[in-house]
Amino acid sequence: MAKPRTPRGSKGNNKPVLIAPEISTATQSPPTSPDASSFIATQIDLEAQIRQRAYQLYEERGCTPGQQDDDWLRAEQEIRAHLGQHNA
């Protein structure tokens, strides 16, 4: 489970930030089919793209805390819309 952490360099702001746990392929059971493997890889890649875009949005806002949910939702919408355009 994710542990709350306080970001470095935060001055006077002691709000915890949830850090997503790392995904370890060593502890995961192997996929049952090639389709399952492809699906897992796609989901992990999608999450990585969303995470990266959410962080970019955070930086664009001047690294001010407190809007991580909004950043994540906006990033998810942007990435999924972008992928939908390319898959159509």
Give start and end residues of each alpha helix (H) in the chain. Answer: 34-60, 68-87
> Is 78:55 a contact under the CB 8 Å cutoff?
no
Spell out the per-residue pLDDT of the chain, length 88, in tens: 555 555 555 555 555 555 555 554 455 555 556 677 777 777 778 999 999 999 999 999 999 999 999 999 999 999 999 888 766 5
C-alpha–C-alpha distance, residues 74 and 77, integer Å: 5
Handedness of CA 23, 26, 27, 32 (dihedral sign): positive
Neighbours of 76 (CB within 10 A): 17
Neighbours of 53 (CB within 10 A): 19
Output the pTM of the full model. Answer: 0.53
Question: Which pair of tokens denotes residue 50?
Answer: 């969303």
